[in-house]
A and B are shown apart, each in its own frame.
Chain A
Amino acid sequence: MIGCFHTPTGGASRSRAYRDDASGGSAFRVSAFRVSAFQAAWRPALLIVGLVMLGGCAHSPPAPSAEEYQASTDDAGSRAVANASDDSLYAALGGKPVIDAVVNDFLYRIAGDERIVDFFANTNIDHFAEAFATQLCDISDGPCDYAGPSMARAHQQMGITNAHFNAVVDHLRAALVDQDVPAGPRNRLLGRLARLHDAVMLRQP
């Protein structure tokens, strides 16, 4: 549904995509194999949160390179305060700090939910977190431009059911509540995200 970061398959782009892993020592480094094969071998004990549902992108269509992505989010970050209009949903949510906290909270919930964690198995979680935060920023009229794949493409053929979709929405709402986002902005954001349902479910088997 939401923020989605594609895991590139090409060797060159993969090395770029995992630049953060190499430098930052992320515990979530995951290779980009086809999702079906990966799911079969998946061990919950690894606790590797990948993407998906709300951004789970185990497939490997062409994706923006990490550099491009990094550049766009850095740029967005520097403009965040200056460009967010005070009456935007983005401002009402609390801006970048709150959105980042919500995304973090949300990812911990996904990691603990065996119904959906497998969808995220194939993903670099740090990049997913950034992409998801960028998408939340973009969709709430913040100073960001989500340039990732469309929701239909990002989730195609993943076998996502309404039960998976609902579970992810439930986690996001819980994260928003736990991060003290007020009811008004919370519900406005959920309403905007709810409209992505049809696109996410468009190309499911």
Chain B
Amino acid sequence: MRRSGFSFAPIMLAILALLSSPATQAGSRLLATGGVTQVEGAAGGGISPWGVLAGTASEGEFAATASVSQARVDDYTLGVAGIAGNIQDRLELSLARQRFDLNTLGGRLEQDILGAKLRLYGDPLYDTWGTWSLGVQHKRMVDGELAKALGAKDTAGTDIYLATSKLWFAAVGGRNLLTNLTLRSTRANQGGLLGFGGDQKASRSLVVEGSLGLMLAPDWVVGVEYRQKPDNLGVAAENDWRDVYVAHFFNKHVSLTGAWLDLGDIAGLADQQGGYLSLQVAL
């Protein structure tokens, strides 16, 4: 952000205004039930999309979220800016731009992700089987040369996923527990930043993602996430992603998430670990 000379002043003012007016235009769903923004722009945790839709909009309501996130691991920095809209808690539309800086190797990879998530059924709080949503993420690399050089087949691809979320009341020490399970069909290498398909496997893989979130208080969530990944490129082995996170919801408009990431090997550099910070504002 600073590199591009972007001014934080208007954003900080907007955030201060939102922090001080908790009732402004908020949706009716309970605090934190829209999750935060995951790295591909969908409502979720940090690395995995959840079954819930962005913001707190419910029937007859609309929500919009904007987020900035940054992950700094040993040899890379990922910056994500995203916006999402929620139409009546039925359809979520999202757009995200990822910037992946190769601090050690040199260079930058960028990708745009257009997402849609349709809530098929249920509510995480009120239904025995939780809520179920079907999502797509269409990803398009800005410059695919490095990915091609590593053996990727394509520079664009579409992930399809089914996600379910359920809140268990008073599940652990009297605290509510949010569980999420996501099944994703994807050809993406490192989420798409290293292209789609590869010399080892060109076709789609079915991968599982899961996360737990314990609500220590209505406005504090701590948890873990896991995301299985394909391993398509022969020269750039890929590992599953993991993280532990804590999210604080100042009110229905502002949330801040911090995480510790373990992303495994990326593009030939081993054992990438580091921190993650994500700020979301919602209307």
| Chain A contact residues, CB within 8 Å of chain B | 115, 161-167, 169-170, 173, 177, 182-188, 190-191, 194-195, 197-198
Contacts and interface: CB of A to CB of B under 8 A. Distances in A.
A173 B218 contact: yes
A160 B181 CA distance: 30
Contacts, number: 62
B217 interface: yes
Contacts of B218: 173, 177
9 contacts: A161-B59, A162-B59, A166-B29, A170-B28, A183-B170, A185-B174, A187-B175, A191-B169, A197-B125
The 4 A-B pairs of least Cβ separation, nearest first, read: A184-B174, A191-B169, A197-B126, A187-B170
A143 to B, nearest CB: 22
Contacts of B217: 183
Given A161-B59, A162-B59, A173 B30 contact: yes
Contact of A187 (B60, B123, B126, B174): B174
Contact of B173 (A166, A184, A197): A184
Nearest to A182: B174
B170 to A, nearest CB: 4
A194 B174 contact: no
A167 B28 contact: yes
A106 to B, nearest CB: 15
A198 B129 CA distance: 13
Nearest to B125: A194
Contacts of A164: 28
A194 B126 contact: yes
A162 B169 contact: no
What secondary structure prevails in chain A residues at the interface with B? helix
Nearest to A195: B126
A147 B21 CA distance: 41
Interface in B119-146: 123, 125-127
Given A115-B28, A161-B58, 4 more contacts: A166-B30, A188-B170, A191-B170, A197-B125
Interface residues of B, number: 22
Given A161-B60, A183-B175, A187-B176, A197 B123 contact: yes
Interface in B163-218: 169-170, 173-176, 217-218
B101 interface: no
A163 B169 contact: no
Nearest to A185: B174
Contacts of A188: 169-170, 174
A165 to B, nearest CB: 8
A165 B27 CA distance: 12
A194 B169 contact: yes
B61 interface: yes
A33 to B, nearest CB: 26
Interface string B17-46: 000000000011111000000000000000
Given A184-B170, A194-B126, A166 B176 contact: no
Contacts of B31: 170
Which of B29, B31, B169, B217: most chain A Cβ within 10 A? B169
B250 to A, nearest CB: 16
Contacts of B169: 187-188, 190-191, 194
B92 interface: no
A15 B170 CA distance: 43
Interface string B78-102: 0000000000010000000000000
Contact of A166 (B28, B127, B175): B28
A115 B31 CA distance: 17
Given A187-B174, A194-B126, A163 B30 contact: no
Nearest to B31: A170
B58 to A, nearest CB: 4
A56 to B, nearest CB: 16
